[in-house]
Each structure stands twice: as C-alpha cells, then as structure tokens.
C-alpha cells in the first residue's frame, strides 16, 4: 500500500494591532519626506497605512525610506515569521528598469564575491491603488545610508581610513556589476546602505512603532509617515537602487545625477562602465570634503553644462585629443588644442 504524504502545516501569525492615536500630527502645510523631492505627485504613490497587510502575507510595520519613484517599508512576513523591507513603486513607472536588471543578474552564473555587496531581490508582486498598479520588491532589511551616517559625523566628513574601507567594498560590488555587463550610473552615498549585523533592531523598530507611533501628516485620506532609521551594527556597504542601471557594454543618452555626471554623458557621446568609476572618484571627494569638487551652476538657480565642463578643465587640464574627436559637441567648449 502506498504511503501517505503529510505536509507540515504552516503557522500563520495574526496581524498585530497598531495605534491609530497618540502620534504627532504634522501640520498639513508642512512639507515632509517625499514631498520635498522634485516632481513629487502624491497621486503617484501608494497610500500605505502602517498595519496594512499586503498579499495576505506582509504586514507593514514602519516606513524606513523614500525616493523619487518609491517608498520603502519594514514588514513582517506572517507566514515565515521573518522581517523584510518592501519597496513600493509609483504608478507612473510603466517600465520597471530595476526589475529587468534584477532578472538579468539572476541569470548571471559567474562566481564573484562582489555579488554580496549588491542588494538582492527576494520576491516581487503588484498591488493596486485607486490610481493604478504599483510594483513591489521584497528585499533584505538594511540600515541607514552612508549619507545619513555622514551627516552624523563631525563637520559631516569621514576619516580617511573609513573612506578607504568603504571604497574597497563598493569597488568589489561594482566590479561584479561590470563583469555582469551592468552599469549602475547612480552611485552616490544615498544608494550605499550599511548592512545590519544585529537583527534585534528590526523587532525594536516594530515594538517602538506600537508603543510610540511615527509622526505623520494627513492629506485627505492619505497619510505621509516620517521614516525611522535603522542602525543595527556596522555591516558591509551594500549597493542599492538599480533603477537607473543599464545592461550592456556601450550605452548612450542622458544618465547619472547631474553632480556626478561624467563628461562623455554631458557631451552626448557613447559611454560605458567607466562612468561608474568617475562617480566613485567624486564620491570619495564628497566623503572627505565639505564642498563638491565641481561647480555646475552659473548662479544658484540655473544649471549650466559650460560651467560644469569648465570646472573639470580647470582642475584636470584639457581633454586629450582622442576625447575631443569623439563628439562634435566638444567644439562648443574647447578648441582643437583643448583650450576651453
């Protein structure tokens, strides 16, 4: 007689109750969190509520970050009884480049220690709001960004030994991306998060949210919560946010944050993974100095490529002849001898 197979029953935790009173109510006229970002539109973001359960599984515990295209939330997996973060994207992100990059990286079989320095995608799904669909990424919780940590330092600068250690880790991660034919294009201290070595911080954040609910403002039926920072030990730096990454060896078009933009991108040339190394050079400067290396405005309001390229020329000298020949755009700024 055939033996009967019995599956182990899965214990699903009940959702916890979160207070709907007792929090600091922020004046609706005050601009906070993602509202401060350029091009912010409240209708594009998912109207998350702390305590909400997504996909009958992930209960939202606290807000831990935000960006131009998403908000990030600590959650508890009620099935596996574990903690994750969920990155919830805006509705207007019709093509999710980051998801495609993660799918590409999942197909890469090379063995490289740098993979450990790249944030991993554990799961993805979609949720709906009144304004459309939102892509959701389930990821391992990480601590605060390197930029936030820098702001806690005296004069907001790091010791050289710490910067050297940070860059060593980032370079290993970037080397893996480049071996996998991925160009990040968006390397800066906001996208470098400190890994957590003490997971007890996650339950602490959950309990803190229950005892002392996060400050928030209400606009209509939407709440905008103030993020909680997590620092559970000083683990390795992890490269995050692949939303601007490109797959392939040679690329074209505008990319990179303006302050970190490489000259070949400014000049509409073809570009490759060397733009990431340019970004890392500027990152090193910004971790050690109070002022940015290059001036990119001709006044406090107007962005000016000419000022940006002039600052590069002043500090680095004239471009080599082979660089000048790569684009007709260079004749707007330099003569044939490389003089600006």
87 is in an annotated binding site: yes
Dist. CA 86–CA 122, nearest whole Å:
10
N residues, the chain? 340
The 10 Å CB-count burial string (b at 16+, else e) for 47-84 is bbebbbebeebbbbbbbbbbbebbbbbbbbbbeeeebb
Is 77 a residue of the active site?
A: no
Contact in structure between 79 and 230 (CB atoms under 8 Å): no
Dist. CA 25–CA 216, nearest whole Å:
6
3-state secondary structure at position 219: strand
Dist. CA 191–CA 146, nearest whole Å:
8
Contact in structure between 124 and 137 (CB atoms under 8 Å): yes
Dist. CA 309–CA 340, nearest whole Å:
9
The residue among 246, 249, 280, 278 whose CA lies nearest residue 264 is 278
Which residues lie below 8 Å from residue 27, measured CB to CB, with a gap of 6+? 217
Dist. CA 313–CA 24, nearest whole Å:
50
Token pair of 186, please?
């968006």
Burial of 283 (0-12, 13-18, 19+ CB in 10 A): buried
Catalytic residue among 77, 186, 241, 276: 186
Q: Which residues are annotated as a binding site for ATP?
A: 87
Q: Which residues are catalytic?
A: 186
Q: Which residues are annotated as a binding site?
A: 87
């Amino acid at each position: 007689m055939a033996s009967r197979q019995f599956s182990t029953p899965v214990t699903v935790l009940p959702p916890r109750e979160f207070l709907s009173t007792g929090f600091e109510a922020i004046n609706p006229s005050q601009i906070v969190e993602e509202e401060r970002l350029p091009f912010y539109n409240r209708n594009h973001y998912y109207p998350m509520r702390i305590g909400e359960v997504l996909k009958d599984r992930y209960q939202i515990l606290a807000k831990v970050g935000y960006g131009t295209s998403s908000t990030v939330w600590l959650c508890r997996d009620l099935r596996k009884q574990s903690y994750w973060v969920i990155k919830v994207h805006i509705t207007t992100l019709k093509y999710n480049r980051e998801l495609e990059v993660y799918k590409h990286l999942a197909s890469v079989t090379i063995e490289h220690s740098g993979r450990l320095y790249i944030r991993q995608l554990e799961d993805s799904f979609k949720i709906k709001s009144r304004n459309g669909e939102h892509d959701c990424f389930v990821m391992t919780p990480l601590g605060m960004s390197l930029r936030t940590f820098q702001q806690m330092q005296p004069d907001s600068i790091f010791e050289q030994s710490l910067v050297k250690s940070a860059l060593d880790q980032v370079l290993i991660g970037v080397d893996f991306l480049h071996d996998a034919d991925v160009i990040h294009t968006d390397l800066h201290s906001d996208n470098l998060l400190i890994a957590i070595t003490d997971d007890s911080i996650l339950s602490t954040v959950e309990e803190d949210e229950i005892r002392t609910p996060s400050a928030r403002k209400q606009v209509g039926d939407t709440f905008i919560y103030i993020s909680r920072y997590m620092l559970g030990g000083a683990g390795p730096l992890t490269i995050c946010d692949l939303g601007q990454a490109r797959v392939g060896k040679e690329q074209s078009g505008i990319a990179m944050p303006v302050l970190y933009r490489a000259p070949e991108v400014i000049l509409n040339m073809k570009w490759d993974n060397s733009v990431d190394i340019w970004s890392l050079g500027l990152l090193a400067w910004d971790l050690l100095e109070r002022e940015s290396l290059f001036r990119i405005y001709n006044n406090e309001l107007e962005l000016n490529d000419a000022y940006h390229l002039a600052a590069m020329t002043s500090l680095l000298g004239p471009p080599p002849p082979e660089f000048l020949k790569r684009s007709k755009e260079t004749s707007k700024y330099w003569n044939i001898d490389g003089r600006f």
